[in-house]
Amino acid sequence: MSEQSIQTAAHKMVYILVVEQSLRAGEGMSEQVLAADLQKHGIGEGERQSALDWAVGKGWLEKAEGGEVRLTEAGFDMNFTQ
């Protein structure tokens, strides 16, 4: 999987949390529920994990206790109109 596809999947992941799930900075959802949403968008398990790691590295998301993915301020502030 290419770096570009990982970046695209990471952007979709944050988009889902902000736009579709209406989460705010500091809020999160379980990785299982997020995985189901990503599957609907055509993002499978292997790509999901790489995208999650990439988004965490960018500071957009955090992995929290109990298998939760939490949205950061940086992730919440992303511009999705580009």
Per-residue pLDDT of the chain (82 residues; tens, 9 = 90+): 788 889 999 999 999 999 999 999 999 999 999 999 999 988 988 899 999 999 999 999 999 989 999 999 999 999 876 5
pLDDT score at 82: 52
Q: Where are the domains of the chain?
A: 3-76
How far is Cα of residue 59 from the mean position of the Cα atoms in its chain?
Answer: 11
Q: Which of 13, 35, 28 is nearest to 65 (CA)?
A: 28
CATH architecture of 3-76: Orthogonal Bundle (1.10)
Sign of CA dihedral 24, 54, 69, 43: positive
Query: For 54, what's the count of Cα atoms within 13 Å in the CB-facing half-sphere?
Result: 20
Tokens representing 35 are 């995985």
